[in-house]
């Protein structure tokens, strides 16, 4: 009698374990982002208290010639804007980076009214693309580079501190 009960339990256990194993093998079929959370983050980013404020009119582009030219914009698109490299500061202001070609990549320096310097360099070769953003903010703050795969390397600096964000991506070549 006891043996039969034991066998029954074995069978029930086996069936339960099979069902659990099947459920365990189910991979998440949905997206890796939530529109609701994305919308929430956009909202709070816009309302985050600014630690320092930059305005578009305060931005100077130095040492890079005819920045607004159409042909230049096209070159930049190939090098970096295809990856949606966008710089945003902690007051929510968003800057599209416009760079000039230099050697194997492109570069540019943004100087803000408060003296914050963003130096951007891109380089391509050996099957990878590298984007480097050097930041020096006299008043400190947070800078983030957003990429089209959703990653968003970010760096917070104290007043006067130097920092660097470097992104390396295989080009698949």
Partner 1 sequence: MTQAVWTIQAASEPGSGGLAPCPDSALAARAAGDPEQFGVLYRRHFGAVAGYLYRRTGDAALAEDLAADTFLAAWEALPRYRDSGAPFRAWLLRIATNRANLAARRERLRRRVVGLLGRASAPERDADTGELYEALGRLRADHQTVIALVHLEGLSVEQTAQVLGVAGGTVKSRLHRAREALRGELARTGGRP
Nearest to 128 by CA among 172, 93, 94, 90: 172
Of 6, 7, 19, 104, the residue at the interface with partner 1 (CB under 8 A) is 19
- Is residue 48 a contact point for partner 1 (CB under 8 A)? yes
- Residues 145, 153 contacting (CB under 8 angstroms): yes
| Of residues 162, 82, 165, the one with CA closest to residue 117 | 162
Q: Please, what is the minimum distance in Å from the beta carbon of residue 72 to partner 1?
A: 25
4 binds partner 1 (CB under 8 A): no
Q: Is 40 in the site for partner 1 (CB under 8 A)?
A: yes
**Around 48, how many Cα atoms within 13 Å sit in the side-chain half-sphere?**
19
CB nearer to partner 1: give 37 or 68. 37
Residues 70-89 touching partner 1, rule: CB under 8 A, are: 88
Q: CB–CB of 94/66 below 8 Å?
A: no
Q: Does 57 bind partner 1 (CB under 8 A)?
A: no
Integer Cα distance of 140 and 26 in angstroms = 46
Tokens 């099957």 locate to: 127
Residues 55, 77, 102, 161: which binds partner 1 (CB under 8 A)?
161
Residues near partner 1, by CB under 8 A: 9, 12-13, 15-16, 19-20, 22-24, 26-34, 36-37, 40-41, 44-45, 48, 88, 90, 142, 144, 147-157, 160-170, 172
């Amino acid at each position: 009698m006891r043996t039969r009960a034991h066998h029954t339990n074995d069978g029930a256990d086996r069936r339960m374990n099979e069902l659990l194993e099947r459920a365990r093998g189910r991979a998440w079929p949905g997206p890796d982002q939530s529109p609701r959370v994305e919308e929430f983050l956009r909202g709070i980013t816009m309302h985050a208290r600014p630690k320092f404020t930059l305005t578009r009119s305060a931005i100077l582009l130095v040492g890079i010639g005819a920045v607004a030219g159409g042909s230049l914009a096209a070159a930049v698109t190939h090098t970096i804007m295809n990856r949606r490299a966008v710089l945003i500061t902690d007051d929510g202001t968003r800057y599209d980076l416009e760079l000039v070609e230099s050697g194997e990549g492109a570069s540019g320096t943004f100087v803000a009214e408060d003296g914050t310097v963003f130096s951007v360099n891109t380089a391509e070769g050996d099957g990878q693309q590298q984007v480097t953003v050097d930041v020096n903010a006299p008043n400190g703050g947070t800078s983030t580079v957003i990429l089209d795969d959703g990653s968003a390397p970010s760096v917070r600096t104290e007043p006067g501190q130097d920092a660097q964000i470097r992104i390396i991506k295989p080009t698949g070549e």
